[in-house]
Structure 1
Amino acid sequence: MRFCDLRQKEVINVRDCQRLGFVADIEFDPCCGKICQLIIPGPGKFCGLFGRDTECVIGWNCVRQIGADIILVDVNVEAIRKNCDKDL
């Protein structure tokens, strides 16, 4: 599977059936060539004019299934966004 294929899929959390968005970037281990994390941008602020909210970084181990149109993940979204805020 190529990165361009992942970017076209919507990420959905199976815990609450919430749409998280589309994959914007990935983090991978160059030694073994495996994907480590999916990076999903946060929702846009006021009409998209003032930037975006905190992005979600989802570990590859949280990915449950990759389908034709969606990627199902099992994550606690609040915990992921709080961890991203601490990095800033």
Structure 2
Amino acid sequence: MIKATQLSSKDIVNLTDGAKLGPVKDLHIDPETGKVLAIVLQAPRRYLGLLGAGRDMIIPWEQVKKFGKDAVLVDLQNLDMPKGEE
């Protein structure tokens, strides 16, 4: 079992290309069942953090494949990266 607070210290890695996707910002939880529906990753800062950030990434819980000691593996086949960040 893993605690939600432990997610913030783990790297989120895409199995498809090995890319680090960013830190966990939040979880989407169904209030009726208590089940986790998705993890929300913090958008990367742009221009040394001076001009804000892009859009947060929402990863459906079904795409989370494995929790390791240092990383969480997700399977995003068609990762849509904003233009200029590919």
User: TM-score, normalization: structure 1?
Assistant: 0.83
Cα distance, 1:22 vs structure 2: 1.1
Counterpart residue number, 2:11 = 10
1:22 aligns to 2:35 (yes or no):
no
Unmatched tracts of structure 1, length 5 or more: 82-88
Size of the alignment, in residue pairs? 80
TM-score (ref. length: structure 2):
0.85
AA aligned to 1:65 is: K
In the alignment, which residue of structure 1 is the partner of 2:63?
62
5+ residue gaps, structure 2: none
User: Counterpart of 1:52?
Assistant: 53
Report the Cα distance in structure 1 between the residues aligned to 2:41 and 2:79, rounded to whole angstroms: 11
Structure whose residues are more often strand by fraction: 1
Instruction: Name the Cα RMSD after superposition.
Output: 1.4
Q: Which structure 1 residue ranges, 4+ long, deviate > 4 Å from structure 2?
A: none
Overall identity of the aligned pairs, in % = 31
